[in-house]
A and B are shown apart, each in its own frame.
Chain A
Amino acid sequence: MHKTEEISTLRPEKKQSLTDFLTNTEPNISQVERIVSGIAGGGLVAYGLKRRDTAGVLLAALGGLLGLRSATGHCQVYDALGIDQSDASVSEWLKGKIEVQKAVTINKSPAELYRFWRNLENLPQFMNHLEAVAETDSKHSHWKAKAPLGQTVEWDAEITEEVPNELIAWRSTENSDIKNAGRVRFKPTANRGTEVVVHLTYEAPAGRLGALAAKIFGEEPSQQVSEDLRRFKSLMETGLIMKVEGQTSGRIGEVVEEKAKARAQGGNR
């Protein structure tokens, strides 16, 4: 289990070791209860509908945490990460890397979507892990990403293929820290908008272990790509990404009382 220790050192601010983390169900109880109390056994059934294997069910149902008890170090975890070792189409450059493919349908024309995406500097607007992209010339760009564990990673990328309104492909240049490649296709439909299919391949900072850590701490690549695409869709269709963070609630406690008093005195609204 020395791998386990390696992971635990990846997150020094968390006192708990991964072994504790994996064997102790306590931290998740409230989260689990929140879902399970209302949906009860049924919730598990629903998860089962989405994922084929039992490990998948547990992973999903218990926020990917409890489930690790049964899946630690086993290939189910890699399956859940979307790593398919048997896929022969993975080229040399991608061998052993993480691959993610996701699709979303957007109620806009391929041209509108292509135009926005091809301006790579727009990507951080919906790809949350990116801090900035700067285009250096028509084919080259510099990318800066928020890596797991509060680090940043930077690399240069080049466009490897582009077909206006149809396809954009890019990959990091030879000397990059984080090797990655991406491809997005825009496929028109008769009357359902445009199907956007994204295919990403990359090597996580510490290989598979890094990806596993990322998964544990909620930076699972496949989920990240889904969320990115959801934000892309929302931005394209509605012009914004819906926010609820920062809204009011009764959770703010004493601060609230004070603010209310201040307001009563100041007469603001």
Chain B
Amino acid sequence: MKAVCWMGKHDVRVESVPDPTILNSRDAIIKITTTAICGSDLHLYNGYIPTMEAGDILGHEFMGEVVETGSGVPNLKKGDKVVVPFTIACGNCFYCKKELWSACDNSNPKPETAETLYGYSGSGLFGYSHMMGGFAGGQAEYVRVPFADVGPLKVPDSIEDEKLLFLSDIFPTGYQAAENCNIEEGDTVAIWGAGPVGQFAIKSAFMLGAEKVIVIDHYEDRLRLAREENENVETINFDDKEVYDKILDLTGGRGPDSCIDCVGLESHGTSFDSLLDYAKAYTFLATDRPHALRQAIYCCRKGGTVSIPGVYGGFLDKFPMGAAFGKGLTFKMGQTNMHKYLRPLLEAVEEGKIDPSFVISHRLKLSEAPVAYDRFNTEKDTWRKVVLKPQ
């Protein structure tokens, strides 16, 4: 089959590789009908995530049709149309039972590196480094899905792929980010990053009762989409405006009740601290560039919540702990506990409350993945979300 392989920093190629096979009794093989590139994939593309190996198959947002099941997958049969969550979870351990699916104890077969770096390892992830299990990803024609009796969500044939695909990651991710804010009546939520995750966080914040959402980015096209798609959204282009001052203007001097960082470790910026971050990341003195996160902490009102779906991998420099402590902030973060949101969010799609396909900007063939990665990385304004079709 054809698969998108990571060959090194800024080097992805579509290679012919062997078809996946069943390795455990609870595996299924899915024939992929639609897959996408995620902002998280760019962290791999840009070489920020350690323990990638040349030849690793990328991709964690995918859906398709069941073609084969192991003996321990009674819930699926050949031909079922499924969306697969990007976190792999067993459904049996303490964490899975507590719906902390992305903390599953049993799905990362190589937890030692993560344990050394983080103390304990999170769940396995598709196509996201050997530290996260080294599972082959789904930017391919076929994929092996472990714990397929627990993960894949059966979806109706009558709904087209593009409305369902983002249940695999970014819709639940934006939703959990908003849910983590414990939104109350009258709340203003400020969201850094108007990428796909940010766009779903905006919609989710409104679904959960936010009165107003403020969105910060420097891509006019992305900000415009946020305004067009939602009522009561204010946008701030951080290239032209002092973000803190503008946020105070928009919140009557109170600051937002909660702040969501949908940017992650590759924050852009030209302020002094972010230039220092570039220099440090370049010289390996720090690994992540947390400019947006620093700003979110600074802008958040007293007693507010900072919710962080944006991915961080290593160490942050100049983390404003004093501001966080001084204002008594609450922090919520982590990989999304995907399985918890699949059914409720599918219902929202079925009921027509949301059409997740609004984030798509480009539709390409799987074989065009190298171009897609390059453009999504360098022409972010217009290349917002790329969907790839294997057939």
Report if A and B associate in a common complex.
yes
Residues of A within 8 A of B (CB): 34-43, 45-47, 49-50, 60, 105, 107, 192-193, 230, 233-234, 237-252, 255-257, 259-260, 263, 269
Please report the C-alpha to C-alpha distance between residue A71 and residue B99 in the assembled complex, in whole angstroms.
44
Residue pair B136, A105 in contact (C-beta under 8 Å)? no
Closest 9 CB pairs of A and B: A38-B50, A40-B284, A250-B5, A251-B55, A42-B315, A250-B55, A260-B16, A250-B15, A242-B109
Chain B stretch 53-94: residues in CB contact (< 8 A) with chain A: 53-57, 67, 72, 90-94
Residue pair A250, B116 in contact (C-beta under 8 Å)? no
- Checking B24, B94, B107 against A105 with a beta-carbon cut-off of 8 angstroms, the contacting residue is B94
- Checking A35, A45, A246, A250 against B113 with a beta-carbon cut-off of 8 angstroms, the contacting residue is A35
Answer whether A41 and B284 are a contact pair too, CB < 8 Å, given A46-B116, A50-B116, A256-B16: yes
Residue pair B18, A237 in contact (C-beta under 8 Å)? no
B91-121 to A contact mask, C-beta < 8 Å, 1/0? 1111001000000011111110100111100
**Distance (Å) between the CB of A236 and the closest chain B CB?**
9
Residue pair A247, B20 in contact (C-beta under 8 Å)? yes
Please report the C-alpha to C-alpha distance between residue A40 and residue B317 in the assembled complex, in whole angstroms.
13
Residue pair B314, A242 in contact (C-beta under 8 Å)? no
Answer whether A38 and B51 are a contact pair too, CB < 8 Å, given A60-B116, A242-B109, A249-B136: yes
The interface centre, meaning the residue of A50, A241, A244 with most chain B CB atoms within 10 A of its CB, is: A244
Residue pair A42, B287 in contact (C-beta under 8 Å)? yes
**Distance (Å) between the CB of A181 and the closest chain B CB?**
27
Residue of A nearest to B24 (CB): A240
Residue of B nearest to A33 (CB): B50
Please tell me if B382 contacts chain A, counting CB pairs below 8 Å: no
Residue pair A38, B5 in contact (C-beta under 8 Å)? no
Residue pair A250, B67 in contact (C-beta under 8 Å)? no
Residue pair B107, A242 in contact (C-beta under 8 Å)? yes
Q: Tell me how many residue pairs across A and B have CB atoms closer than 8 Å.
A: 155
Please report the C-alpha to C-alpha distance between residue A256 and residue B21 in the assembled complex, in whole angstroms.
14
Please report the C-alpha to C-alpha distance between residue A192 and residue B133 in the assembled complex, in whole angstroms.
25
Please report the C-alpha to C-alpha distance between residue A257 and residue B17 in the assembled complex, in whole angstroms.
7
Residue pair B110, A38 in contact (C-beta under 8 Å)? no
**Distance (Å) between the CB of A227 and the closest chain B CB?**
8
Query: With a CB–CB cut-off of 8 A, which chain A residues contact B48?
Result: 38
Please tell me if B3 contacts chain A, counting CB pairs below 8 Å: yes
- Checking A243, A257, A260, A263 against B109 with a beta-carbon cut-off of 8 angstroms, the contacting residue is A243
Given contacts A249-B5, A250-B13, 7 further A-B contacts (CB under 8 A): A34-B53, A237-B105, A239-B72, A240-B72, A243-B109, A259-B16, A263-B19
Residue pair B113, A192 in contact (C-beta under 8 Å)? no
Residue of B nearest to A60 (CB): B116
Residue pair B50, A242 in contact (C-beta under 8 Å)? no
**Distance (Å) between the CB of A241 and the closest chain B CB?**
8
Residue of A nearest to B19 (CB): A269
Residue pair B110, A244 in contact (C-beta under 8 Å)? yes
Please tell me if B134 contacts chain A, counting CB pairs below 8 Å: yes
Residue pair B23, A243 in contact (C-beta under 8 Å)? yes
Residue pair A233, B105 in contact (C-beta under 8 Å)? yes
